[in-house]
Every structure is written in structure tokens, then in C-alpha cells.
């Protein structure tokens, strides 16, 4: 009997059509009978008929036989079996498989008894996979691990070899975290998250589904989520590849006795107290992390309390000023400062060149810190990943972040030095240091600031006149002192986090968890305060809109000094210092640069405010 590749229905006589159709449909069975004439072992006559491939027939796999007689005589051999004819999807996956690329494994190397293979109902497929993989990979660590033990006890939720490595898609990089750190670390971390973030599965196994979220809240997790896994630890780095056991088990990589060696694979030169750092910290757990919980409450209260008070203050101020401005417009009343003439147009200096340059550096460093820090804080958002890519990656972004922080720290150190010189000038003065500290030229709060605050609220509600201010208002003093507090909170915590191994010689590792929380929350407070409250004070008041150029030009009109700082004006006149403060009108280039820089900062700040608030509320 000949079975040729060219046979078909076309060209057959009409009378033989029915017979041809019958022959084609029955070809597998007929061919099988022919094959069994020679291949008559029980494997083919009995076992194959019970296998899952029984309905296929011999020639569905063993193709290329066109003449049975030639085949019987050994002159015609079948083509190599191609499982991909039926298992097309699996075959495509397997082309990238480590076993195929590196070891030249074929399907039959794992699926050996292919003629008798059966689908066994109710069989523990996970256990079967482990048994098959450990024929070559005799991994005692895995079979003794939490996952392996659970599967042996019948737990179908536990991970078998294929859950982590893939069944037919085992990539080359799967074999080594050391040789392929980026691909492998990201791959395994995502695999771990897939199960351990499943709340239903974790509840079934009496495990917390929040461990993934706690990890993602750490520096390791955030950099991973941004798409840069190479420089940070993933799940497999700490929990190792197969020896995944509870930390109470002495064999576990996270057992206290093994932590130093485990952490030491990435970190070096640390004090043993470094090991108290929590990789999955839960700041809401009062019992387990009391210090972290207390810090969370304090920072949350500081954030909400500060913003709530000043937003309320800003809303009242906005209502009062804009409604008053609207009323004057309707009645045709022109504000006195608009029609200033003569001496009122004279420019007087408020900020020297030195302090204007320092303010520009402060603005640049602050924006750099926000643009490099907040993408890390909200690493799961698309905008954060885009911004980090624009910086050139997480590593480059971190370098800019630390550079901007250094500029800010040096600047604040210089301001602190200037403050000390103000309090303790050379020579003898009329006032002692306490008098200077609480005097009108000081940025330290005094009793008058409390009176001014009370007066402002009375003015907000039409219960009195607006208070008269001296050189500094109470909100300006708050801005100034808030920077010092921010440098203590953000700068101090940032320095600890900069080199955590070095920091461990000063503080225990759990303090670094607190430092990370303080750094993040204080940064949020600083950004929202600057971009909403400070921007209102300097941009959105009617007599300053769209911006106040004073901090960039350094001067303003004498009429503005008399209107905004009447007590300072009176002091300067009484002390004979006003004449020495008079300056030329700012040049056109200076005004253009000031406006461009100021408005650009305003627009960028408002855009970042939208991103931050959206991430805070919805991400």
C-alpha cells in the first residue's frame, strides 16, 4: 500500500469519490494497523491505544513515509518527530528555553514514555513537575523549603518549579542571579509578587498579603518598580532561590543567625546593628513596630495639621483680599500704590545680591530634589517612570538628588553662620543677643507675631483693620524656620539613608526605617507647602499677581515699603537708614530674567502639584 503526499480528491473519477473520502478519513486508523503489522510490541498494541495520542495515529507524528515497502526494507525512514505541529504555542516558547539552547534537550528528554502517556484525573500535577525536574536537578534546598514541603503535603497553592521558572519557557537568565542580575531579579520578583499579593490565596494559607506592599514601600521595592532592578535587592536576593523558609527556621536565609552573611552579599562595612533594618516594615503595626508607628502618627499629624491651618489661612486671605479688591473696582477706587509719584517711585533695597543668588540656588536645588525624589515616592505611576527615564535612569537620578541635597545643605549651613553673626556681631552693640533675637530685624518669632496673627484673623472676618507689619511677617518667619526644620528632618534622614552601612555605626538599622518615613513625609509636606501656600503669598495676591519679582530684582518701590511694611519704614526714617537703601530702577534684562525664571518656576510647581495630588489620592 502506498501513501503518497500527492494523493488527494482532485481528479478522481466520480464513482470513486465516496471511496476516496472514506480512505482519507480512515487513514490514521488504517496506517496504524499497517504499522502494527511490524511494530507489534505491547507498547504499541496496548499502551498506545490507552494514551492521550491514540486518536492521532502513527503518521500524525512519524511523517515522511510514502512507501510502506521501502520503509519495511529500511530504505525510507520517517522524518524527525516535530511535536510543534500540534503543540505550536509550546514549541514557540521552547525555542527560547535554556534546556534547548544550552543543553539541546528535545521534547522526549522530559516526556520519555510518549507512546503510553496518559492524563491521570486527580493527579497532583505540581508533585509530578517536581519529580520530573529533580531527576536532573536534585535540589535538596527546594524539596526541604516551605514551598516544597507544602506541595508534598498536598497544598496546590505552593509554588512548584514551573511556577517560578516556567515550564516550557525557562529562560537562560533564570539559571543565575549573578550572571544575569537585571533580568533574573526582575523576573523572580514579579513571580513572587504574583502569588504573595493574592489576598485570597494568602488568606487560605494564613499569610499576609501586605508583604508585597510593605516591600514596595522600601527603597528596594521602589527602584524595582521604576524598572531598574539591577542595583537593588529583589525577593530572590534575600530569600534566596530555593531555601525559602520562615525566619524562625535555623536553615532559613533570613534567620537572625544568617542575616549578616545574607545582607553582606550586597552591603559591606556595616555594624551588626544594621541587621535590625526591616525589609517589610508595617508602620501601622503598633505592637510590632512601636517607634515606626509613633513616627507615622507624628509625621501624619504634622503634615495634616500644618497644611490644614495654612490652607485655611490662605483661603480666608484669598477671600478677603479678592472681595475687597472687587469692591474697590466696582466703586472706582484706585489703590494708592498704583498712582504713586515722585518719591514713592524710588526703589529701595530689600535683598542684597548675595541673598538673591542664594534664593535662586535654593529654587534650583529644591526643584531638582522634587523631580528626582518624588518619582521614587510614587514609583508605580507612569509619570514617575517617564521622569526617571528623562534623568537617564534611577542611578543618574540619584546622583542629581544627592548633588542638589549637598547644595541645599551647604546653603543652609551658610545661613546658619550668617544667623550666628547677626546674633553675635563683632564689637559691642546697643542690644544683647536676646534683644537682637527678638528684635524687629530677626526672623525668630516674638510676641508681636502672635498679635499680628490674631489681628489678621480679625481682619479676615471684618472685625478690625489689617495689622501693621515690620520687616518680617509671621508667615515669612514660618517659611524661614520651616526650612531649618526641613533640613533637620529631610537632610538628617537623607544623610542617614545616603550611606546606610556607615550610618549603622551611629544608629540601629530600624532607625533607617524611621528615617525613610520621615524623609518621605517631610518632603511631601515641603513640596505641597511651597507649591500651594508659598506660591499664593508670592504670586496670587492681587497686588503681586502674576508674581512678585522682589526676590529676584532685590528692590521695590518706596511706596510699597510704606504700604506693606509701615513699621519698618518708620524705623528706617527714625534711624536715618532709608537714604542708604535707595537703589536704581531694575534694568530690563534683569526684569525679563526675573519674570521668566519666576513664572517658569510657578508653572512647573503647579504642574508638579497636580501630579503629586493625583498620585496621593488615586495612585
| Per-residue confidence (pLDDT) for residue 19, from 0 to 100 | 39
**Mean pLDDT value across residues 605-613:** 96
pLDDT digits (tens, 9 = 90+) for 296-343: 999 999 999 999 999 999 999 999 988 888 888 888 876 655 556 677
Closest Cα partner for 523 from 497, 494, 495? 494
**Mean pLDDT value across residues 340-359:** 88
pTM of the predicted structure, to 2 decimals = 0.83
Confidence of residue 254 (pLDDT cuts 50, 70, 90): very high
Beta carbons within 10 angstroms of residue 305's beta carbon: 11
| Per-residue confidence (pLDDT) for residue 15, from 0 to 100 | 42
Residues contacting residue 598 through CB under 8 Å, at least 6 positions apart: 547, 548, 549, 552
Where do the structural domains in the chain lie, given as residue ranges?
14-83, 181-298, 351-423+473-553+587-618
**Mean pLDDT value across residues 546-572:** 92
Cell for 33?
Answer: 494497523
* pLDDT higher than 70, residue 429: no
Highest mean pLDDT: which range of 104-108, 244-248, 302-306, 547-551: 302-306
| Per-residue confidence (pLDDT) for residue 328, from 0 to 100 | 81
Q: How far apart are CA 510 and CA 428, in angstroms?
A: 49
Closest Cα partner for 482 from 449, 448, 447, 529? 529
Q: How far apart are CA 249 and CA 329, in angstroms?
A: 78
* pLDDT higher than 50, residue 20: no
Angle between helices 474-486 and 447-460 (to 10 degrees): 120
Residues contacting residue 289 through CB under 8 Å, at least 6 positions apart: 278, 281, 282, 283, 510, 513
pLDDT digits (tens, 9 = 90+) for 211-232: 999 999 999 999 999 988 877 8
Confidence of residue 179 (pLDDT cuts 50, 70, 90): low
Angle between helices 382-391 and 353-377 (to 10 degrees): 120
Q: How far apart are CA 240 and CA 235, in angstroms?
A: 8
Confidence of residue 556 (pLDDT cuts 50, 70, 90): very high
Lowest mean pLDDT across 33-47, 195-209, 330-344: 330-344
Q: How far apart are CA 170 and CA 129, in angstroms?
A: 14
Cell for 284?
Answer: 501601622
H and E: helices and strands count for the chain: 33, 3
What does residue 556 show for φ and ψ, rounded to 5 degrees?
Answer: -145, 170
Q: Is 6 exposed, middle or buried (0-12, 13-18, 19+ CB in 10 A)?
A: exposed
* pLDDT higher than 90, residue 127: no
How many residues are present in the chain? 619
Q: How far apart are CA 387 and CA 384, in angstroms?
A: 5
Sheet holding 347-349, edge to edge: 555-557, 347-349, 582-583
| Per-residue confidence (pLDDT) for residue 427, from 0 to 100 | 67
Answer for the pair 284, 291: CB distance below 8 angstroms, yes or no: no
| Per-residue confidence (pLDDT) for residue 8, from 0 to 100 | 35
Bond preceding residue 154 cis, omega within 30 of 0: no
Whole-number percent of the chain with pLDDT over 90: 55
Closest Cα partner for 225 from 189, 269, 260? 189
pLDDT digits (tens, 9 = 90+) for 485-544: 998 999 999 999 999 999 999 999 999 999 999 999 999 999 999 999 999 988 888 777
Confidence of residue 400 (pLDDT cuts 50, 70, 90): very high
Lowest mean pLDDT across 192-201, 236-245, 279-288, 550-559: 236-245
**Mean pLDDT value across residues 357-373:** 96
Helix or strand run (H / E) with residue 23: helix 17-25
Answer for the pair 9, 24: CB distance below 8 angstroms, yes or no: yes
**Mean pLDDT value across residues 193-201:** 94
Amino acid at each position: 500500500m502506498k501513501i503518497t503526499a500527492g494523493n488527494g480528491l482532485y481528479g478522481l473519477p466520480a464513482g470513486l469519490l465516496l471511496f476516496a473520502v472514506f480512505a482519507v478519513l480512515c487513514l490514521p486508523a488504517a496506517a496504524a494497523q499497517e504499522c502494527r503489522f511490524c511494530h507489534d510490541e505491547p507498547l504499541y498494541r496496548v499502551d498506545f491505544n490507552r494514551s492521550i495520542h491514540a486518536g492521532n495515529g502513527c503518521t500524525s507524528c512519524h511523517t515522511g513515509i510514502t512507501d510502506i515497502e521501502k520503509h519495511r526494507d529500511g530504505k525510507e525512514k520517517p522524518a524527525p518527530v516535530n511535536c510543534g505541529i500540534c503543540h505550536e504555542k509550546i514549541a514557540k516558547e521552547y525555542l527560547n528555553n535554556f534546556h534547548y539552547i544550552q543543553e539541546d534537550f528535545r521534547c522526549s528528554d522530559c516526556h520519555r514514555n510518549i507512546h503510553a502517556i496518559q492524563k491521570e484525573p486527580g493527579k497532583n500535577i505540581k508533585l509530578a513537575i517536581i519529580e520530573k525536574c529533580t531527576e536532573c536537578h536534585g535540589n535538596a534546598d527546594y524539596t526541604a523549603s516551605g514551598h516544597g514541603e507544602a506541595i508534598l503535603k498536598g497544598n496546590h497553592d505552593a509554588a512548584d518549579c514551573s511556577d517560578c521558572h516556567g515550564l516550557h519557557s525557562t529562560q537562560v537568565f533564570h539559571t543565575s542571579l549573578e550572571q544575569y542580575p537585571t533580568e533574573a531579579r526582575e523576573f523572580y520578583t514579579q513571580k513572587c509578587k504574583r502569588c504573595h499579593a493574592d489576598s485570597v490565596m494568602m488568606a487560605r494559607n494564613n499569610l499576609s498579603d501586605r508583604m508585597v506592599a510593605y516591600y514596595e514601600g522600601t527603597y528596594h521595592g521602589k527602584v524595582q518598580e521604576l524598572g531598574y532592578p539591577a542595583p537593588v535587592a529583589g525577593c530572590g536576593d534575600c530569600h534566596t532561590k530555593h531555601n525559602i523558609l520562615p525566619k524562625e527556621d535555623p536553615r532559613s536565609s533570613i534567620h537572625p543567625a544568617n542575616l549578616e552573611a545574607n545582607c553582606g552579599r550586597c552591603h559591606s562595612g556595616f555594624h551588626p546593628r544594621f541587621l535590625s533594618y526591616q525589609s517589610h516594615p508595617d508602620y501601622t503595626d503598633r505592637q510590632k513596630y512601636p517607634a515606626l508607628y509613633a513616627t507615622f502618627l507624628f509625621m501624619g499629624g504634622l503634615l495634616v495639621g500644618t497644611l490644614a491651618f495654612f490652607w485655611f489661612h490662605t483661603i480666608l486671605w484669598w477671600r478677603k483680599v479678592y472681595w475687597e479688591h472687587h469692591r474697590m473696582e466696582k466703586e472706582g477706587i484706585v489703590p494708592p500704590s498704583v498712582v504713586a509719584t515722585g518719591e514713592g517711585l524710588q526703589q529701595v533695597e530689600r535683598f542684597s545680591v548675595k541673598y538673591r543668588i542664594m534664593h535662586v540656588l535654593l529654587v534650583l536645588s529644591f526643584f531638582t530634589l522634587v523631580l528626582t525624589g518624588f518619582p521614587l515616592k510614587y514609583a508605580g505611576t507612569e509619570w514617575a517612570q517617564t521622569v526617571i527615564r528623562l534623568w537617564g535612569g534611577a542611578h543618574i537620578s540619584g546622583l542629581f538628588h544627592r548633588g542638589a541635597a549637598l547644595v541645599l545643605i551647604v546653603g543652609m549651613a551658610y545661613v546658619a553662620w550668617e544667623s550666628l553673626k547677626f546674633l553675635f556681631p563683632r564689637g559691642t552693640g546697643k542690644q544683647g543677643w536676646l534683644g537682637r533675637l527678638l528684635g524687629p530685624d530677626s526672623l525668630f518669632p516674638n510676641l508681636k507675631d502672635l498679635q499680628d496673627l490674631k489681628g489678621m484673623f480679625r481682619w479676615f472676618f471684618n472685625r478690625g483693620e489689617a495689622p501693621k507689619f515690620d520687616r518680617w511677617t509671621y508667615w515669612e518667619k514660618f517659611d524661614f524656620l520651616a526650612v531649618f526644620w526641613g533640613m533637620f528632618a529631610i537632610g538628617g534622614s537623607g544623610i542617614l539613608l545616603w550611606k546606610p552601612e556607615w550610618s549603622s555605626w551611629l544608629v540601629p538599622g530600624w532607625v533607617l526605617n524611621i528615617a525613610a518615613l520621615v524623609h518621605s513625609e517631610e518632603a511631601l509636606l515641603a513640596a505641597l507647602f511651597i507649591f500651594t501656600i508659598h506660591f499664593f503669598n508670592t504670586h496670587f495676591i492681587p497686588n503681586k499677581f502674576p508674581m512678585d519679582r522682589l526676590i529676584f530684582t532685590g528692590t521695590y518701590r518706596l511706596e510699597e515699603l510704606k504700604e506693606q511694611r509701615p513699621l519698618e519704614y518708620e524705623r528706617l526714617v527714625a534711624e536715618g537708614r532709608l537714604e542708604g537703601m535707595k537703589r536704581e530702577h531694575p534694568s530690563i534684562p534683569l526684569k525679563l530674567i526675573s519674570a521668566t525664571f519666576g513664572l517658569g518656576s510657578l508653572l512647573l510647581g503647579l504642574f508638579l502639584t497636580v501630579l503629586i495630588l493625583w498620585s496621593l489620592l488615586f495612585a
